Structure 1
Amino acid sequence: MALPPNFLDELRARTPLAPLIGRRVRLARNGRQWKGCCPFHNEKTPSFYVYDDHYHCFGCGQHGDAIGFTMQTEGLAFREAVERLAGEAGLEVPRESPRQVAKEARARDLHDVLQVACEAMQRRLRAPEGRAALDYLRGRGLTEETIARFGLGWSGAGRGALAADLKPLGIEPRQLAEAGLTKPAEGREGAYNDFFYNRVMFPIRDRRGRIVSFGGRILGEGQPKYLNGPETDVFSKRRTLYGLDMAREAVFRGKARLVVAEGYMDVIALHQAGFEGAVAPLGTALTAEQMEEVWRITPEPVLCLDGDAAGRRAAARTSEMVLPLIGTERTLHFATLPQGQDPDDLIAKKGAPAFEAVLASAKPLSVAIYDLMAEGRPLGTPEGRAAFRNDLAAAAGRIPDKSLASEYRSALLNRFFESSRPPRPPRPPFTPGARKGAPFRPPPRLPPRAAPEAGNTRLQQARCLLAITLAHPWLLNEVEEAFALLELPHGPPSALQAALLAWHAGRALTDVSEGAAASLDSADLVDHLNATGLEEARAWVMGAPGLPREASPDAQPAETLDGWWHFFGFLRGEGALVEDLDAAGRDLVAANDAAAQSRVIRLSQALSALRRGETGLEAELESGAESASP
């Protein structure tokens, strides 16, 4: 009995290859895969590679999956190897049943029907009736070798031509209908019409190279221009990619990069030009199931779309679709063709190097999604900017991996602020001791604070930072970008953060035309918060007992800045602070000014305090203890 494909896929998914092969081969990490000496031939230099779902020896050519490795190394038959692995994976091998046997036989029959139908269509392409179709393919620049390799054909003019061709082989109209090649004729019981007629035919294969359906392009006028076969027992449009069987082999052997193009002819033209990793969805938007198929082959495919409006809309849909699916092990790049050109147009006019340049300029997902989301947005108003920033943060929040989501949020918001920051006036080089003849002294360090008691530490840290910001809104001129990168607790803290950033953005846009920094008035801020329904949130912050001294209105500017960065460090986290400090150091080398110097010092102090195990709440706890004592 042939085992169900879904069971075998589940077995392979539950059998990690590296541990299985590692029982017999000493493996070492080599980038994303493992490497060792081949167990199938004598070698001293390792050429045996183990990937997520297969292994391959570049010395002797042996390759396969977990089942194949068990068969080859233990001398087992296929069924025996499956039973061995299933026992280890906790799976029960399906028992033979009449229904299962019938289903598998039917699937084999459908593949056979589709194969002989493909051969009949290929013959028709070379017959006089297929001359127009053959001329069309040659006119698109396809060679005889390419036409044969992809099995291209001609459907005929309909009227039962395909059924007549296949009748001598014993294939009945019912089988043609089950394979998606014919459909019941309206008003004529037991009669069938051809599904495809007057079309150039493109066989669609699954990842194993078996024909599962066809696509057809009409010649001359008519709609739809491209038509795919209907859903059948062996064909699901949303799970299938055109050209996947050929692309998989090319990528597997390291001959090509996997590129997702738009249609049949794009894939064929790219393969002919040497880009043998090209695949395409079947006339629809790329689906999550198709992306899973692509990621089984490579972790970083390239989506290559036309540069017109339709191509941009398709790219935007895809970027939104993949965000909940990406992770640290898999992502997507976006390449855009010149306006009005398909891959075969570009290659025909400028050669393969022109398409190679398109691939080389592909944007990572984090860059492409910003560009796609920014297109057509009204970013000249405070409302438009605030809405765009919220959308960027929401897009990053759709990524399941929290660490990756945080990195995306930082990258998107950093670019947002960089694009909207007014140009800084040039400053003279900063030289310690040059100001008023005084020697350079770093800002004083805050005294060490005692370890906090248990409690909702992060919420209290956010309250302290917001209290300092609300009491001294002028801080936002210096700390806006850092403030936007924080992920404050949900509720009043995050609501106040968004309101403060929106208010500051509006004030900055008002004053930028005058070449001045944003004029930030406390009374104006209070009015803004009251108007946006955040009066209670502000009271929750400012009415708390034991707020830090930096939150008092009479705190000195240097002291206020020290306190703000102190709490920023605790909320930002050690890993992010290290990256912030590295970036600030690079800015200092490039700008060599007092602002950059100050940022390095403050971030260093925040990181030191965090590493000393402080929380910033020690003074608050002491204040609370004093007020509670008799």
Structure 2
Amino acid sequence: MTLTPQWLDELRARTTLSTLIGKSVKVQKAGREYKACCPFHNEKTPSFTINDEKGFYHCFGCGAHGDAIRWMTDQRGLPFMEAVKELAASAGMEVPAADPRAAKRAEQARGLHDVMAAAQDFFVAQMAGIEGAEARAYLQKRGIGAATALAFGFGYSPDGRGRLKSALKDYGEPMLVEAGLLIDPDGAEPDDGKTRKRETYDRFRGRLMLPIRDIRGRTIAFGGRILGAGEPKYLNSPDTPLFDKGRTLYNIDRASPASRQTGRVIVVEGYMDVIALAQAGFGEAVAPLGTALTEHQIERLWKMVDVPILCFDGDAAGQKAAIRAATRALPLLHPGRSLNFAVLPAGQDPDDLIRASGAAAMEAVLDAAQPLIERLWHHELTVAPLDTPEQKAALKQRLRAVTDAIQHPDVRMHYAHEFRERYDALFFARRESPSPPGQRRGGPDGGRWQRDRRGNWKPPLPPAGTEVRAIGVTGLEQRLLRAILASLIRHPEQIRPHREMLAALRIADPTLARITNAMVRASFSKETVETDTLLTILEQGEVYNMAKGMLRADTFTLTPKRMTADPDRVARDLEEAIRVMVQGPELEIALAEATRRFEIEFSEANFAEQQRIRALKADHDHRLAELTQPQDGI
């Protein structure tokens, strides 16, 4: 088995070193590089740096230095070939099979990078010649200046089946086919069913050519735009040993250094959008290559900035592409990592906007970019009608599906909480009664006194509270909360059905709050949670001791003598107890609001509403007392 220098170089280029090292060592972003405490010697202050663009790590303390392969052999202790195979599997590359003639072929071959560089030179030369006149006219029509054309390497592929093949014949047809520059139809089945030898021919013919480069600026593929009538409008190189369209971003080599200056990355739909933005001063733009944004591309964007801006076209197709990218990013979200979405005017792409209104208009669009959660919320809100209770419930299910797709438990929990607050505010917001125009505000001392039905002056009622009182202030509430938590520790499978309500609680006692939050996080991180797992998570001082005490068989039951292992009974008891717990603050809000309305308008209707809610609150307090009665002897 012979690994050529070109193959090994490609393996290193496809491996993001900071991600590889980050699997074993905690790394932190530090400007254009990453830093960590060196794994090769003991240190408290990080002196170990990782440079993704150059593909090496270096420790200024002990001198350790190497690339991805060296990391696998020195830090992981793998043999060289085992290290190469593991990296190749992660990078989607095949390790060359054992072949005694491979060394001889490697000596004779100039390498795929050399082939691509020669092809680029050929296309640029054709662009400058007589046959490139139409391509030059197209660039002029699009307003692309000479400096921009030079920077992006525009070229032209002449309209002939063998022009490139003839110009690069010294490299050999197999190499040109492997590089994706020639199409080899040999072996295809003709209409008559017979197999006959067919000649290879140029893949790109009569097209404006753009080189696609890796992060090191090396040409690895091409994109070609047709100048006249015909399909497809854009044609990309096929996947090759150098080029994987799902892992590559157009203009990554120029956008990466530009992003360090601006602190942002702009993702647009295509080549010409990138070029228009660059010419207008936005050098940090990239684009996927004819596919929807992939997970690998999103991860690559996060290596540049924490929150890239997706700016797709303002038409329906562009907005559909944006929501596909949003959905694809959900399982990858981590604290601090997200996406923003800039919405272009309907029917316009970046080039159209810049031409019509200038760079300032584009900057305004980017400044108004929406966070990922706003984009998802707006999409789910508008994807279907919300007129009936069933349609409103369907919205809740769609929002739950969005949060369930998020793998990181903390991020998922915050999304669930935010969606629930928005949903409740949209459908369950309390409407205020308007003040009557002739409302009397006079009275003794010039205050807001009012007359009752007998004509007597009444002092103003105390103002209504504006915030929900935290749960656990009273002894009964705290006892019920402990009973609920104790039951959940005994029956952790019940956490998941109630986690949204648990996550929304405001709990006064900090220890009980930490226990509740830990339970919710555990339910997000695992489909099933066991009691021992919960105790392990809570194993820290007072929190652990309180949780352990809740497991005593003679304390904290939901109702007297209701120690039961019946799962249906447990589920019913917990559902009622949590409902009572949540209803307390809700009834207080409703009572405060009814009292406020009664204060503003002294009417029979408002008085009746206040008394109705007082009765509900009294019933709630009575049920709370029943649920928290101690067992005999306790």
Distance in 1 (CA, whole Å) between partners of 2:520 and 2:63 is: 56
Query: In structure 2, what is the equivalent of residue 146 of structure 1?
Result: 148
Distance in 2 (CA, whole Å) between partners of 1:407 and 1:373 is: 18
Query: In structure 2, what is the equivalent of residue 93 of structure 1?
Result: 80
Q: 1:88 to 1:174 in 2, by over 3 A?
A: closer
Three-state SS of the structure 1 residue aligned to 2:342 is: strand
Contact 1:547 1:620 in 2 (8 A): no
Query: In structure 2, what is the equivalent of residue 315 of structure 1?
Result: 322
Distance in 1 (CA, whole Å) between partners of 2:282 and 2:48 is: 22
Correspondence 1:418-567 to 2 at 5 A: 418-421=425-428, 424-426=431-433, 437=459, 440=462, 445-447=474-476, 449=479, 455-457=487-489, 540=569, 564-565=583-584
Distance in 2 (CA, whole Å) between partners of 1:231 and 1:261 is: 22
Is 1:222 matched up with 2:250? Answer: no
Offset of residue 286 of structure 1: 0.9
Distance in 2 (CA, whole Å) between partners of 1:359 and 1:432 is: 50
Query: In structure 2, what is the equivalent of residue 299 of structure 1?
Result: 306
Distance in 1 (CA, whole Å) between partners of 2:449 and 2:408 is: 47
Correspondence 1:206-605 to 2 at 5 A: 206-252=214-260, 254-255=261-262, 257-421=264-428, 424-426=431-433, 437=459, 440=462, 445-447=474-476, 449=479, 455-457=487-489, 540=569, 564-565=583-584
Alignment equivalent of 1:127, drawn from 110, 126, 129: 129
Is 1:13 matched up with 2:24? Answer: no
Offset of residue 326 of structure 1: 0.9
Three-state SS of the structure 1 residue aligned to 2:243 is: coil
Query: In structure 2, what is the equivalent of residue 181 of structure 1?
Result: 181
Residue deviations 1:80-101 (CA, integer Å, cap 9, x gap): x974784234444338997686
Letter in 2 for 1:54: N
In structure 2, list runs of 5 or more residues that go unmatched: 38-44, 85-95, 191-195, 442-446, 453-457, 502-518, 524-565, 599-622
Letter in 2 for 1:565: G
Query: In structure 2, what is the equivalent of residue 474 of structure 1?
Result: none
Residue deviations 1:315-347 (CA, integer Å, cap 9, x gap): 121111111111113111111111121212211
Contact 1:262 1:305 in 2 (8 A): yes
Offset of residue 420 of structure 1: 3.8
Q: How many residues align?
A: 485
Offset of residue 312 of structure 1: 1.4
Letter in 2 for 1:13: T
Q: 1:103 to 1:173 in 2, by over 3 A?
A: closer
Contact 1:256 1:275 in 2 (8 A): no
Contact 1:18 1:50 in 2 (8 A): no
Query: In structure 2, what is the equivalent of residue 505 of structure 1?
Result: none
Q: 1:347 to 1:625 in 2, by over 3 A?
A: same
Distance in 1 (CA, whole Å) between partners of 2:11 and 2:624 is: 56
Letter in 1 for 2:149: I
Q: TM-score, normalised by structure 1?
A: 0.64
Distance in 1 (CA, whole Å) between partners of 2:184 and 2:30 is: 57
Residue deviations 1:209-259 (CA, integer Å, cap 9, x gap): 11111111111211111111111111111111111111112113x245201
Contact 1:427 1:593 in 2 (8 A): no
Offset of residue 51 of structure 1: 11
Distance in 2 (CA, whole Å) between partners of 1:543 and 1:84 is: 55
Contact 2:47 2:61 in 1 (8 A): no
Query: In structure 2, what is the equivalent of residue 166 of structure 1?
Result: 168
Distance in 2 (CA, whole Å) between partners of 1:243 and 1:445 is: 62
Distance in 2 (CA, whole Å) between partners of 1:287 and 1:455 is: 43
Offset of residue 294 of structure 1: 1.2
Distance in 2 (CA, whole Å) between partners of 1:141 and 1:563 is: 62
Residue deviations 1:39-76 (CA, integer Å, cap 9, x gap): xxxxxxxxx99999539xxxxxxx96652x24x77677
Letter in 2 for 1:348: R
Contact 1:11 1:85 in 2 (8 A): no
Distance in 1 (CA, whole Å) between partners of 2:63 and 2:520 is: 56
Letter in 2 for 1:258: V
Query: In structure 2, what is the equivalent of residue 556 of structure 1?
Result: none
Q: 1:127 to 1:294 in 2, by over 3 A?
A: same
Q: 1:461 to 1:18 in 2, by over 3 A?
A: closer
Distance in 2 (CA, whole Å) between partners of 1:592 and 1:265 is: 62
Q: 1:117 to 1:458 in 2, by over 3 A?
A: same
Offset of residue 280 of structure 1: 0.4
Distance in 1 (CA, whole Å) between partners of 2:285 and 2:594 is: 45
Distance in 1 (CA, whole Å) between partners of 2:12 and 2:275 is: 33
Q: 1:299 to 1:103 in 2, by over 3 A?
A: farther
Three-state SS of the structure 2 residue aligned to 1:268 is: helix
Offset of residue 104 of structure 1: 7.7
Query: In structure 1, what is the equivalent of residue 90 of structure 2?
Result: none
Distance in 1 (CA, whole Å) between partners of 2:208 and 2:254 is: 20
Query: In structure 1, what is the equivalent of residue 51 of structure 2?
Result: 54
Structural RMSD (CA) = 5.1
Query: In structure 1, what is the equivalent of residue 514 of structure 2?
Result: none
Letter in 1 for 2:74: G
Distance in 1 (CA, whole Å) between partners of 2:314 and 2:48 is: 35
Distance in 2 (CA, whole Å) between partners of 1:350 and 1:148 is: 26
Offset of residue 144 of structure 1: 0.6
Offset of residue 411 of structure 1: 1.8
Q: 1:84 to 1:323 in 2, by over 3 A?
A: closer
Offset of residue 621 of structure 1: 7.2
Contact 2:126 2:156 in 1 (8 A): yes
Distance in 2 (CA, whole Å) between partners of 1:93 and 1:461 is: 47
Distance in 2 (CA, whole Å) between partners of 1:341 and 1:366 is: 24
Distance in 1 (CA, whole Å) between partners of 2:377 and 2:574 is: 42
Q: 1:66 to 1:235 in 2, by over 3 A?
A: closer
Letter in 1 for 2:248: T
Three-state SS of the structure 2 residue aligned to 1:394 is: helix
Offset of residue 446 of structure 1: 4.4
Three-state SS of the structure 2 residue aligned to 1:424 is: coil
Q: 1:158 to 1:277 in 2, by over 3 A?
A: same
In structure 1, list runs of 5 or more residues that go unmatched: 22-26, 37-47, 56-62, 470-485, 491-536, 552-559, 570-580, 596-615
Distance in 2 (CA, whole Å) between partners of 1:205 and 1:28 is: 25
Offset of residue 400 of structure 1: 0.8
Contact 1:200 1:219 in 2 (8 A): yes
Contact 2:340 2:370 in 1 (8 A): yes
Deviates more, 1:110-119 or 1:433-442: 433-442
